[in-house]
Amino acid sequence: MSASLATQLVNLFASLLLLIAFAMLAQRRVLSLIHLFAWQGAVLALNTALVAFVTHQHHLYYSALLTLILKVILLPWILHRLIDKLNVRWDVETLVNIPTTMLIGVGLVIIGFNVAMPISHLSETVTRGTLGIALASVLLSFMMLITRRKAVPQVIGFLAMENGLFFAATSATYGMPLVVELGVALDVLVGTFIFGIFTFHLREAFDSLDIEHIEKLKER
């Protein structure tokens, strides 16, 4: 595979990742959020496998396989089970309306590209042009995390932010050492279980998943 074709494919995957991040930011159905998260994981796995093939970084094949198992199969399955038990498949509330959220998201993308531009010029990797998109995806996921009022979408926002960070690592340095990636994967999995336990306790205590109840309890 030629370097130019590989660069075009990497840029395509990066663009898809950014589009999915925007779709997640605008999505109000929890079930659709989970599906978008799974698609994001699939794009991330394909991009990692492509970079591994082009650069002969064999540890990235294990990273791609780990991403496929964890973020396309296991975590979406856990989230499906969670929303089935909590019965929260439908619309979720946001702190900011969707049009305003999308406008802010465009601003975050511009900021991400401007911040990453000096670093991209210093990089010599075939993925150097996607660092801005990776940073923008992290910022969009973080915005989704802080603008949702329900616990489950916040869990998905946290997981999507980790996807953006992993993509940024792949773009900047062809990924992290495998032992670090395994540690991060374990942390994400444990974090998801903790979030699940937290949402169950929140539902039992307040009969709602709205995090405002915790703030009211803190004020008292």
Half-sphere exposure for 128 (CA within 13 Å, toward CB): 12
**pLDDT of 167:** 84
Determine the average pLDDT of the residues in 40-63: 85
The model's confidence at residue 117, banded by pLDDT at 50, 70 and 90, is confident
Length of the chain: 220
pLDDT tens per residue across span 103-114: 998 998 898 888
The answer on pLDDT for 179 being more than 50 is no
Q: Where are the domains of the chain?
A: 3-219
Nearest to residue 60, comparing CAs of 71, 48, 70? Answer: 48
Q: Which pTM does this prediction carry?
A: 0.78
* 69: DSSP letter: I
pLDDT tens per residue across span 125-155: 655 667 788 888 888 988 888 888 777 787 8
User: Under a CB-based contact definition with an 8 Å cutoff, are residues 137 and 164 in contact?
Assistant: yes
Q: Dig out the tokens for 59 from the structure.
A: 């540890």
Q: What is the 3-state secondary structure (H, E, C) of 87-143?
A: CCCCECCECCCHHHHHHHHHHHHHHHHHHHHHHHHHCCCCCHHHHHHHHHHHHHHHH
Nearest to residue 82, comparing CAs of 163, 187, 199, 185? Answer: 199
